[in-house]
Every structure is written in C-alpha cells, then in structure tokens.
Structure 1
Amino acid sequence: MPKVAYVHPDGSRDVLDVSEGTSVMQAAVARGIDGITGECGGSAMCATCHVYVDAEPSHAQHLPPVGADEDEMLDCTACPRAPDSRLSCQLVVTAALDGLVVRLPGHQR
C-alpha cells in the first residue's frame, strides 16, 4: 500500500498507508490529520485541503495536471499559493506516488 507523508507546519509528520484510488484529502480526513478540512468533500470547490507538494522528479510525472476548477480554487487559499500548491482532493494515490510528501499550510481558513 502506498505511503503518503503529511508534514505539519511545526515539522512533525504523519505517514499514512493509503489505498490506491483514495485521494490524499480523503485519507487525511479519514485519519483525522489536522490541517486538512475538505469542507466540500473533494469537489475542488472550497480550497480547505490545500497542500504544498514536495514532488520528487519520480513523483512529479505521476501527478495529474492542475484542472481549471483546481486552478481557480488555488487562488482562494487561506495561505499563499505557491508553484507547488495543490488541492489534495485532486491527488489520487497510485502505486507510483508511494512516498509522496505533502506539506500542510499554517491554516486553511
């Protein structure tokens, strides 16, 4: 099962085993990871699952491109948008993303 690391603003991290086909947001919400709210349930409509992706070259090629809805919502995040910003609801875990690291922003609202 692929592992995803969630790095908190204080540097602590939670590493979860995530079933393939589950979004990074769904896994975090199901396991009570502080820092990801996912108010819209994964519809790319709220920006409360904003993360910064530490995309190693091996992971970057396996991430889906940013869609129009995600791009628009990334302009509405509580913490500043950066080149590595993504909505974690749009990142579906696959075996190729094993070891993915996402950094949580200081706040989501």
Structure 2
Amino acid sequence: MKVEDSGYDLSNYDYLRVPLSLKKKFSLIGLLGMFVQAGPYVEFKINGENFKNIDNECNSKYFETGINAEAGVELLNLLELGMYCRKALTDNYGDDTPDFGDI
C-alpha cells in the first residue's frame, strides 16, 4: 500500500507474530466435529522504517499485542475448515507530537 504523495510503501514491514492459543474439539456425529480456538498474540517488528505524512512523522511500533479466535468444523478427523479473526489491542503507528490537551 502506497502512502499518497510520499513515495513510501507500507508493504515493506516485516513482523514476527507469536500466537499462544488454546483449542477445544467437540465431537458431534462420529466423523464430524467442531472446534474453537482463542488466545493472545504478540508481534515484534523485524524490518521497516518510519514515514512522514503531511503534518508529522509516523513511527511504526516495535512491539504489538492482540487477541485471536478461530472456529470451524472437522471432517473425518483429517480436514479442518475454519474462520480466523484477529483484533489488535495496540496501535501500529503513532506520532511523537505531544498532546497538550491532557495537561
């Protein structure tokens, strides 16, 4: 994704994501089952730079956290089909300008 008028490409960021999830399987009918999975994750920035927008410089964070969840069905004890959702709990980008409204 290109940031307009800056020539900077946001796709050249590399993160290492480390999830920690618990999974529970339920048997419905012999060869058919379902599962749910949930837990937190952390991400560590490996590569990438900051970029400037019109007003100030935006810094990418080096450490991020979030939660993930998955649910689906298991067929014949061999194949799992599921949907995965991830929600970040921290901001990926921020600026270093002080907010004097908090004083």
The structure carrying a bigger strand percent of its residues is 2
TMscore range, shorter length? under 0.3
More helix by share: 1
Normalising by structure 2, report the TM-score.
0.25
Larger RCO, structure (CA 8 Å, separation 6 or more): 1
